[in-house]
Amino acid sequence: MESNKKIKKAILMLEDGTRYDSYHFGASISSSGEVVFNTAMTGYTESMTDPSYKGQILTYTYPMIGNYGIPSSSYCKESISEFYESDKIQVSGLIVSYYSNRPYHWNMNLSLSDWLSRNGVPGLYGIDTRSIAKKLRKNGGSMLGKILIENEDIPFYDPNLENLSEKVSIREKITYGNGQYKILLVDFGLKNNILRCLLQRDCTIIRVPWDYDFTNEEYDGLVLSNGPGNPKIYEKPIHYIRLVLKNERPIFGICLGNQLLGIAAGGDTSKLKFSHRSHNQPVISLKTGKSFITSQNHGYVLDSENLPKEWKIFFKNLNDDTCEGIIHDYKPFFSVQFHPEASSGPTDTEFLFDFFINSIVNKSNK
């Protein structure tokens, strides 16, 4: 049941001085971070626990959020959360147009407001969130902002100046499963669905921290996970990736992992004019000519112009023609900017995990 709390007025303040008067739900605290948007109709539980959103205030453009509440924190095999993408809420705040305070679903355990309260995260409602998204789009897809409860003021906070993986990555090595293929998974802030997708494909997963020296590890394939922040901050793992590019063990990079692989290969990254933050970004494979709908959440892009000639663009964004992935001509290395493990959906590109496993099989057969 929804907690019986007095409705408090609140403010969303953007770095350019724009002010949105609103109402508060969730935790009764002020918060600051990078304001971004998401266009999904469902999946707020998954998005809010996605470590890629660390330090961000998430704005939902879909008009009604919270109508099906929050599921239980149950676990599936290998002690992986069944419904969450990490062990806690990662966003610094939530902004919605209309908050549904009478949620109902057969699997509901808590209301969204109570879940936010228990995790110390504030939420705002009563704002035209689509107008916020339009404003953010004109400012590179994000702006610094702060949620102010009852006129309490706090400073702005820019998460892009920090190494956020230090806050969301694991501290020590963890092993999952007992499958045929040994996968080394570097955790820059990974989503749990990467683990689920690999375990479904007969893998043993060795999950290591973001700054772990994996250059002397034995494995069949290397996965570079998604994660938050500016890719150029990650100098140590980029150095390790450069070293393992000298051998031919398969590599699969996802989101931030795509950018790190590209930098290690000789490319560069830059801030996008319009960030990709939606569940319906169209991409096309330059190998097959097929198009796919993907889920994305990033403000940086891999500039592929400086890559060595043996690297090719794998996928391209059909909205702005930016690089959405790269692939090596003859070594089993590839990466994508979008989320093939998207949770919640779309699942159009989950086949890339099979593509990765097949590259391991082909390598072992040579």
Assess whether 180 and 144 both reside in one domain: no
pLDDT band at 364 (very low <50, low <70, confident <90, very high): confident
Give the pLDDT confidence of 267-290 residue by residue, as tens digits.
999 988 878 888 889 999 999 999
Give the pLDDT confidence of 75-116 residue by residue, as tens digits.
777 889 999 999 999 999 999 999 999 999 999 999 999 999
| Per-residue confidence (pLDDT) for residue 7, from 0 to 100 | 72
Q: Within 10 A of 363 (CB to CB), how many other CB atoms are there?
A: 15
Q: Within 10 A of 365 (CB to CB), how many other CB atoms are there?
A: 6
Lowest mean per-residue pLDDT among 43-47, 209-213, 274-278, 334-338 = 274-278
Picking from 161, 178, 199, the residue at the C-terminal end of a domain is 161
Domain span at 200? 165-365
Asked if 157 and 291 touch (Cβ cutoff 8 Å), the reply is no
Assess whether 182 and 329 both reside in one domain: yes
- Asked if residue 2 is part of any domain, the answer here is no
Lowest mean per-residue pLDDT among 44-48, 284-288, 303-307 = 303-307
Identify the DSSP state of 306: G
What is the chain's length? 366
Token couple for 231: 């890719």
CA distances from 110 to 2, 70, 343 (A): 8, 5, 20
The domain that holds 291 is classified in CATH as 3.40.50.880
Picking from 161, 188, 211, the residue at the C-terminal end of a domain is 161
HEC states along 49-84?
A: CCHHHCCEEEEECCCEECCCCEECCCECHHHCECCC
Assess whether 151 and 264 both reside in one domain: no
- Asked if residue 3 is part of any domain, the answer here is no
Identify the DSSP state of 160: G
Asked if 327 and 315 touch (Cβ cutoff 8 Å), the reply is no
The domain that holds 88 is classified in CATH as 3.50.30.20
Identify the DSSP state of 246: T
- Asked if residue 263 is part of any domain, the answer here is yes
Average pLDDT over residues 304-316: 94
pLDDT band at 4 (very low <50, low <70, confident <90, very high): very low
Assess whether 238 and 311 both reside in one domain: yes
Could you give the CA distance from residue 352 to residue 342 in angstroms, rounded to a whole number? 12
Main-chain phi, psi angles of 178, to 5 degrees: -145, 55
Could you give the CA distance from residue 332 to residue 327 in angstroms, rounded to a whole number? 8
Could you give the CA distance from residue 206 to residue 120 in angstroms, rounded to a whole number? 32
pLDDT band at 322 (very low <50, low <70, confident <90, very high): very high
The catalytically annotated residue of 197, 203, 255, 323 is 255
- What residues does 325 pair with on adjacent strands? 315, 336
* Most confidently modeled range among 34-43, 139-148, 197-206, 337-346: 197-206
Identify the DSSP state of 153: -
Could you give the CA distance from residue 60 to residue 137 in angstroms, rounded to a whole number? 14
pTM, two decimals, is 0.94
| Strand pairing report for 19-26 and 8-14 | antiparallel
Please, what is the average pLDDT of the chain?
Answer: 93
Asked if 44 and 89 touch (Cβ cutoff 8 Å), the reply is no
Q: Within 10 A of 105 (CB to CB), how many other CB atoms are there?
A: 11
* Closest-CA residue to 94 (of 141, 48, 133): 48
Assess whether 172 and 248 both reside in one domain: yes
pLDDT higher than 70, residue 6: no
| Per-residue confidence (pLDDT) for residue 3, from 0 to 100 | 47
Token couple for 175: 């092993």
Could you give the CA distance from residue 250 to residue 332 in angstroms, rounded to a whole number? 5
Give the pLDDT confidence of 186-207 residue by residue, as tens digits.
999 999 999 999 999 999 999 9
Assess whether 258 and 288 both reside in one domain: yes
Q: In what order do the strands lie in the sheet with 311-317?
A: 174-176, 203-208, 181-186, 221-224, 251-254, 333-336, 323-328, 311-317, 268-285, 291-303
pLDDT band at 5 (very low <50, low <70, confident <90, very high): low
Asked if 292 and 348 touch (Cβ cutoff 8 Å), the reply is yes
Note if 76 is an active site residue: no
